[in-house]
Amino acid sequence: MVLLFLMILKIALADLTLYVFFSQNTPQALQAYFTKSLSSLIGSKNYWDILFYQVDETTDLSSYFEKEVLISFDATYDNSLSQTISALTENYNILNFFFSPTNRPLGSWQFYIHTDPNDEIAAIKAFTDYLEWKRILVVGDGTIEAKIIATQFQENYSEVVQSQITVSPSTEQSVVDNIAGRLIKPNGQQTFVVVCEGAIINKFTSALVTKKIYKQGAGIVLWSRGIWGGDLDGLIYVVEKGLESAISMQHYEALALKYFTDQIGDYWNSTSNSENQAMKNLEIKKYLEQITRNHKKLPYFSIVNIDGSVKTTKGDIYGNELSITGVILYPGSSTTKPKNSKTSLKMSISTNGLESDGTYNSYNPLNCQGNIFAKEWINNQTWILENFEIDYTSNTCGVSVFVHDTVLKCLTPLISDLGYVWLGSDWAASNVGYMALLRELNISMVTVAAGPNSPIFSNKTAYPEFMRMVPSANYNAVIMIKLCQIFSWKNVVVVYSNVSANIAIYEVFKSEADSAGITIANDEDKRMLPLNYARTQYQEYKYIFDHIRDTNVRIFVTFQTASSNYQAVEGLYDSGLRSGEIICFFPTKTGGQSTFSTMPAASVVKLANLMNGAISVSAIEYTGTFGNEIKTLMAAYWGNTPSFKATHFDNTFFSAYGLDTTINRGEDFENSTILNRNLRKQRITSASGVISIDSSSNDRSYMVLDILNTYQYVTNSSFVEVIAGNYIPTSSNPIQFYTNLTWPGYTSTTPTDTRTPDSSCPFDESDATTSVKGIAALATICISMALMAILIAIFIWKQYSHSDVKKLTEPKEIQFADSIIFATMIIETFQYINIGPSFNSDPITGYIGGVFNIDLKNVVSLKGDTYFAFMDVVFTLVGFWLLMFIILIRTHTGCVEKIWIFKFLSTSAHDIMSILGNLLFLPIMTSLLSVFQCSKSIGDNLEDSYMDIDCNQYCWTGRHLSYAISSIIALLIYFPLAVIYRPVWQSLQLQQNLRCQPKYLLIKSCAQVIFITVNKTLKLVDSIAQGLTYLLLFSLFIFYNLKFKPYNYDRANMWQVILFICVAWSVLFSSISKAVDTGLIVIMIIKIIGWSALITIGFVLQVKKFPSLLYRPQPQSIAKLFLFLLTSKVSAQELDKRALKYVVSKKGENKDDSSIIQIDDKTQAKVSIIGDESTRREMLGMLGSFREEGSPH
């Protein structure tokens, strides 16, 4: 034995001895550190004598263990020597500690100073489970301990470990950088478990920083032995308890040994009294077995996080149990768990506008839905960006205008996270501003825009970082001229906004128009509107719209932002133009109902009038198999229209495809120059067809354009924009139509380019004022009608106040009169809704109610002779009503029988009177009173007022005066007779089963006239007051129906109340829409939900509470009818169970028999009735009527 080194530290009163063995295999740094620092580190508690020995294979090791020694520490790093030391300590019952369990069985006196490698693996896995990592790259350094941990971790958890790489101590930094840049980054790897020594950790993290992988979204978990390694903020170590402060590998091992020596020293000092060395050793061995597991350190770990360059404990792990005690910092100064499924590829997108934009931002939210869907769709594909996922950095810095300082302040916090592609908006101003700002900030990014078609962006020299998914608007302007030629339009009027982009489009359009011989009719100085023209500026630019009106040219072309286009159309409306007098021609799509539904109610009224029949030219949205698939998926994803989203899907997909190409080529996708080059070279199929960028510009090449037609559905008043044709640049016949265009008036005949100014008002409507006298005249007539109704009801009330109707309790066959009652209930529901407050988004009830009320505004536009012809029809109906009334009065006098036409009419007079007096009561009253609706005036006299429905017709003079007098006469004839006839008609219907209390009919007549009065008068003063007043009155009407149940049929009473509550529900929310600026679509949805719920309740109650007592007879068997006609096998009695069986006898026989009917002077018949009891009663009633009438038939 050769003793190379001996160092003995004598501690006063020390009782415990530690032998440390080194060999030539012991790392010099470790041996130097131990001999220099271990005594001071371990002996600080005055328990230990520490002796260091250098040994080799020639050393007689047994001589060391023959002495009284408590512990030996094997630091030889030599398997042969270690086995000898282990055997000797077992023989001499001496505790032996060592670094590594490699190739060494643990005897009863052997202890490993670290945790079991499997416990460390489990602790790391517990933490990565907490982080929810699913794609882990394991990095090892090739050392024995690291290899054990790395390999076992990968084998145990192959479902989350993607792969393993080794970075050895001898690997150059440049090689590690290449591994990060060419292997790790292209695979989208960003979550790592690093099992390396400290120096290797520094190499690896340095490579991640250099290749821009170490950033937000990345995550690195390191094993315990790396605790003295990297110090980048965001690193996380899973470290054995007590070793958190290690600053080197030597210090780490010394601290591990110190943990046990401190435990032994404390235990010995507090408990042991034995003087025998063997007893000492045995006692301590038993104690150590209590604080270890299988002679290894218990699996206690700390989660140490580098936060502010300081190692801070943020949690604990015991076995698989994890406890987080602090906020963990991750790379990129993030406190959010790093996503692990795929590596995030950031793109920047503007999601909404500034308040200072001054525009109505209805489009950008729809646009961004295309981008959002594209991101989700791409991230769910496996053939593109397999190991990556698209993510957006959304900013709210504005999309339609650009204010430098405001945007700079908004964008500054996002600069580090803008990503690789800027997804430009549809607005030219913001794209120009953002690109200039990014250059100012020295940020090199590719801008891929969806929709700005301004010609300025075609310049590849001025905007080399830019490309777009549509061609230049110059392209659209040229096609618009071609369409004018196809439609034979030689005259147009044009407005454009005062911004370079729209000026450029206008100049192209003007040049092409000159070449095609098309005249721009409005003066040059009356064509330009300000950027972002708004409806509030109408008075300032009224002269432009008035001038356009006065040109009498029908074709209106506008080059502005989408919002300003529509507000310019409102300006034309305000200048007096109406449907058919103007054809709107846009270089972009309108969006149909999806656009109008977001606009103010007043604007919708104007646009609905002028944009019916509009045409536009716009980039195609969805085409081909792939495009239609995306359209279907996007509509299902958002649950709304896919309009305005296709090119925004395209710019995300186009950018993602370019990133994928760059990654697959092994090129740096973060290099904007490389990415720009690859994007310009690619040709892909997307939602809107094949996309490629023109080599000489920034424009999309050979894009197909849609020729779109916007019109209003007659059935529900909603607007639809349909593709009527395409412009296909590669076709020999480029302009192709697939359907006829729908022009104003729902005609397919192409309108001329000019109009005859015969429908304009003979004065400036803006000079008109409210006609107090006109409104007073209308109110006087309406109130007079209401008072007349009340007086008539009072006058005849006594006659019906005590009359009642027998309640229907048994089944009856339904009669025609019963059907009229049911039809009246349903139709009156729509009538009541229609005479309530108006509501622009009430297409179904508004139109149906308009038809049954003959509400001229909702049904058709009537002016001049057409209106008066319509009133002639109404007067004719009133005259016919009077004729029917006279016929009914004269029915029993015999006069009617002498004139065949009167005889014919008398057979159906009651039914006709019911229709005219019930179903058409409100429509006829509304129409007759419409003559007096003259609420506007151009002077102080009553004769200066003009009709609301036609500004060309003055009131209370000339033709109008004669019709006003006729209407008053018609009202005096029709109205009182209708009120009186309602209860009379019911009393004359002998076969009618469904009846109501006569006094209810009087109350109903009064209520209806009061409702009409409120509608015609109060509505002109305050629509909100009208709605609330009507709601109050109608609620009283509902209460009356609930309390007195006017019908003799419970089911009818129930449905009457249900339908009336539907009316109240509609009136309530129509009134709310007038008082509160609430979205019309929201109100409409609430109405429909309420109606649906009420109707459902009605059907449930009908089934459970109100059985049907009216039925229709079963149809006859066709087979029996044939047998009856062709054979004698079936009798008439078998066809009708209610048949009358009679026996003919001579007159005078059976005089007292009640079943005898006189046939003629000499013949009589005895009748017997065949059928059930109900049938017998019914037929006896008929027989009695027959006998009383004395008919010879």
End-of-domain residue from the set 71, 98, 125? 98
Using a pLDDT cut of 90, give the percent of the chain over it. Answer: 32
Same domain (yes/no): 897, 1006 = yes
Query: Which pLDDT score, from 0 to 100, does residue 591 have?
Result: 67
Tokens of 196: 């390396």
Domain containing 1142 equals: 1132-1189
Q: Does the pLDDT at position 329 exceed 70?
A: yes
Query: Which pLDDT score, from 0 to 100, does residue 354 have?
Result: 38
Query: Which pLDDT score, from 0 to 100, does residue 1144 have?
Result: 46
Task: Give the rounded distance of the alpha carbon of 826 from its chain centre.
Answer: 35
Q: Does the pLDDT at position 535 exceed 90?
A: no
Same domain (yes/no): 846, 967 = yes
- Report d(CA 133, CA 161) in Å as an integer: 9
Most confident range (mean pLDDT) of 435-444, 836-845, 1011-1020 is 435-444
| Dihedral (Cα; 911, 912, 917, 919), 10-degree rounding | 80
623-636 per-position pLDDT tens digit? 999 999 999 999 99
Calculate the alpha carbon distances from 1150 to 397, 1069, 1093, 1183 in Å.
Answer: 105, 72, 64, 17
Same domain (yes/no): 953, 823 = yes
Q: Does the pLDDT at position 781 exceed 50?
A: yes
Is 1004 within 8 Å of 790 (Cβ atoms)? no
Neighbours of 988 (CB within 10 A): 15
Sign (positive or negative) of CA dihedral 279, 283, 286, 288 = negative
Query: Which pLDDT score, from 0 to 100, does residue 357 have?
Result: 37
559-578 per-position pLDDT tens digit? 987 778 888 999 998 888 88
The answer to which of 370-374, 517-521, 1131-1135 has the lowest mean pLDDT is 1131-1135
Query: Which pLDDT score, from 0 to 100, does residue 137 have?
Result: 94
Same domain (yes/no): 1035, 1145 = no
> The CATH number of the domain where 34 resides is what?
3.40.50.2300
Same domain (yes/no): 85, 133 = no
* Mean pLDDT computed over 1082-1101: 87
Query: Which pLDDT score, from 0 to 100, does residue 891 have?
Result: 62
pLDDT range class, residue 328, cuts 50, 70, 90: very high
1009-1048 per-position pLDDT tens digit? 888 888 888 877 777 888 888 889 889 988 888 888 888 8
- Report d(CA 670, CA 817) in Å as an integer: 82
Using a pLDDT cut of 70, give the percent of the chain over it. Answer: 82
pLDDT range class, residue 596, cuts 50, 70, 90: low
3-state class of 869 per DSSP? helix
**φ, ψ at 693 (rounded to 5°):** -100, 130
Could you tell me if residue 716 is inside a domain?
Answer: no
Query: Which pLDDT score, from 0 to 100, does residue 235 have?
Result: 95
- Give, as one character, the DSSP assignment of residue 927: H
Q: Does the pLDDT at position 1176 exceed 60?
A: no
- Report d(CA 1019, CA 829) in Å as an integer: 20
Q: Does the pLDDT at position 56 exceed 50?
A: yes
pLDDT range class, residue 1116, cuts 50, 70, 90: low
* Mean pLDDT computed over 520-527: 94
Calculate the alpha carbon distances from 734 to 122, 494, 725, 728, 1001 in Å.
Answer: 68, 25, 10, 5, 67
Is 556 within 8 Å of 734 (Cβ atoms)? no
357-411 per-position pLDDT tens digit? 333 344 567 788 899 999 999 999 989 998 888 999 888 787 777 888 888 988 8
pLDDT range class, residue 6, cuts 50, 70, 90: very low
Query: Which pLDDT score, from 0 to 100, does residue 1161 have?
Result: 55
Could you tell me if residue 517 is inside a domain?
Answer: no
195-237 per-position pLDDT tens digit? 998 889 999 999 999 988 898 889 999 998 888 888 899 999 9
The answer to which of 62-66, 197-201, 772-776, 1181-1185 has the lowest mean pLDDT is 1181-1185
Same domain (yes/no): 228, 185 = yes
Tokens of 702: 């050979």
Q: Does the pLDDT at position 1067 exceed 90?
A: no
Could you tell me if residue 735 is inside a domain?
Answer: no
Same domain (yes/no): 1064, 1095 = yes
Q: Does the pLDDT at position 802 exceed 70?
A: no
Mean pLDDT across the chain: 82
Task: Please tell me the total number of residues recorded for the chain in this structure.
Answer: 1193
Angle value at C-alpha 707, between 706 and 709, nearest 5 degrees = 125
Q: Does the pLDDT at position 11 exceed 60?
A: no
Same domain (yes/no): 905, 1022 = yes
The number of distinct structural domains making up the chain is: 4
pLDDT range class, residue 44, cuts 50, 70, 90: low
Which position has the higher pLDDT, 1109 or 1151? 1109
Which position has the higher pLDDT, 876 or 354? 876
* Mean pLDDT computed over 316-334: 92
Tokens of 974: 């029709």
- Report d(CA 104, CA 938) in Å as an integer: 112
Could you tell me if residue 306 is inside a domain?
Answer: yes
Query: Which pLDDT score, from 0 to 100, does residue 906 have?
Result: 62
Which position has the higher pLDDT, 836 or 356? 836
Same domain (yes/no): 1066, 1143 = no
Q: Which residue has the tokens 């000159």?
A: 514
Same domain (yes/no): 83, 147 = no
Q: Does the pLDDT at position 105 exceed 70?
A: no
Query: Which pLDDT score, from 0 to 100, does residue 1124 have?
Result: 61
Most confident range (mean pLDDT) of 521-535, 870-884, 1003-1017 is 521-535
Same domain (yes/no): 162, 57 = no
pLDDT range class, residue 324, cuts 50, 70, 90: very high
pLDDT range class, residue 695, cuts 50, 70, 90: very high
**Residues 6 or more apart whose Cβ sits within 8 Å of residue 552:** 754, 755, 756, 757
738-770 per-position pLDDT tens digit? 888 989 878 888 999 998 755 567 666 667 788
Q: Is the pTM of this model over 0.85?
A: no
Query: Which pLDDT score, from 0 to 100, does residue 7 have?
Result: 37
Is 551 within 8 Å of 525 (Cβ atoms)? no
Could you tell me if residue 883 is inside a domain?
Answer: yes
- Report d(CA 640, CA 964) in Å as an integer: 50
Q: What is the DSSP string of 1109-1120?
A: -EEPPPPPPHHH
- Give, as one character, the DSSP assignment of residue 934: -
- Report d(CA 998, CA 1004) in Å as an integer: 10
Same domain (yes/no): 74, 168 = no
Query: Which pLDDT score, from 0 to 100, does residue 16 have?
Result: 80
Q: Does the pLDDT at position 1183 exceed 70?
A: no
Could you tell me if residue 1036 is inside a domain?
Answer: yes
Q: Does the pLDDT at position 902 exceed 70?
A: no
- Report d(CA 686, CA 651) in Å as an integer: 9
Q: Does the pLDDT at position 1159 exceed 60?
A: no
Could you tell me if residue 684 is inside a domain?
Answer: no
Is 793 within 8 Å of 1002 (Cβ atoms)? yes
Could you tell me if residue 594 is inside a domain?
Answer: no
Q: Does the pLDDT at position 1149 exceed 80?
A: no
- Give, as one character, the DSSP assignment of residue 618: E
